[in-house]
Amino acid sequence: MKAYALLGYPLAHSLSPKLHQSVFQAWDLPHVYFPWEITLSQLPQAVEMFRRNLAGFNVTAPYKTEIISYLDELHLSAEVYSAVNTVKNEGGKLVGYNTDGPGFMQGLASVGFQPADKRALILGAGGAARTVALELAHQGAVCTIAARDVTKAYAVQVFVEKKFAQAELEVTNIERIPRRHYDLVVNATPVGMGELQGQSPLQMEYLQHVDLVYDLIYNPVRTKLLADALRSGCRIINGLRMLVHQGIQAQEIWQEQKADSSLEDEILELLAKEIG
């Protein structure tokens, strides 16, 4: 039996333990996966404890960048995003990976959205917004990054432009978003979940004529933003497929085994039922 964990804070809302236990069950593995909430000051000791006892772990907000300095090696996927969400323990050597970007793109692919030459509005400028901006810019979308702290949005812009000199990005305060046509709106803030459930990060008038609204939040299944988007005639998608895809990719890295294509849909259905 091997042990795996999720490192982050807070973790009460996380479906990752259920997701990974479902993969172990599907693959008939006796392994365990548990959430481990820590504060920033506990990070060094937690990583050393994990190095001695775990076969791997996931990392979530707010430690996806901080974790890097405690790892021995970064896979190319983690180097690209300068963030880690999956760590494999290779006999005491901790190797960091990132499976969030493919997870986000899988969500877009599942509804047939092609980002090339589209205009995207990204709400937030944290780790997820950076991954989203990088993926969309790479695919040729023109991105507006809206954040309450504009300096953080500029940091995302610089990060993306360093990777893709030809990327087209602009930055705005989330309270003063330019009124123009956006094909895609992505919520990469926590507004809509937890204590902010029932709130939306975007006024409804921005949603007119938007093709797709993608909320990275998966619990609740339908945030206020998504409900407003449906009322405005937009297509919608939440963050559940992204979560499941990145989780299955983490398992593929840990177990060195490829998942059947049906596993993603099975787990998606199971988790959707779990949330209700």
d(CA 220, CA 228): 14
Cβ atoms of 126 and 152 within 8 Å: the answer is: yes
Tell me the CB-side half-sphere exposure of residue 236, using CA atoms within 13 A. 22
Active site residues: 64
User: With the C-alpha atoms ordered 7, 12, 18, 21, is the resulting torsion angle positive or negative?
Assistant: positive
**Nearest to ligand NAP of 1, 247 (CB atom):** 247
**Nearest to ligand NAP of 2, 204 (CB atom):** 204
Minimal distance, residue 113 CB to ligand NAP, in Å: 16
Q: What is the dihedral of CA 122, 127, 132, 137, to 10 degrees?
A: 90
Minimal distance, residue 83 CB to ligand NAP, in Å: 9
Minimal distance, residue 53 CB to ligand NAP, in Å: 26
Minimal distance, residue 201 CB to ligand NAP, in Å: 5
Minimal distance, residue 193 CB to ligand NAP, in Å: 6
Task: Indicate the residue whose CB is closest to ligand NAP.
Answer: 126
**Nearest to ligand NAP of 71, 243 (CB atom):** 243
**Nearest to ligand NAP of 100, 183 (CB atom):** 100
Minimal distance, residue 77 CB to ligand NAP, in Å: 15
Q: Interface residues with ligand NAP (CB under 6 A)?
A: 61-62, 100, 103, 124-129, 147-149, 152, 174, 188-191, 193, 196, 201, 216-218, 239, 242-243, 246
**Nearest to ligand NAP of 189, 249 (CB atom):** 189
Here the tokens at position 189 are 């803030």
- 3 state SS of 132: helix
Closest CA to 99 of 76, 122, 126: 76
Closest CA to 241 of 251, 253, 249, 233: 249
Q: How far is CA 269 from the centre of its chain?
A: 19
Asked if the bond preceding 10 is cis, omega within 30° of 0, the reply is yes
d(CA 123, CA 189): 6
- 3 state SS of 88: strand
**Nearest to ligand NAP of 56, 103 (CB atom):** 103
SS (H, E, C) 180-209: CCCCEEEECCCCCCHHHCCCCCCCHHHHCC
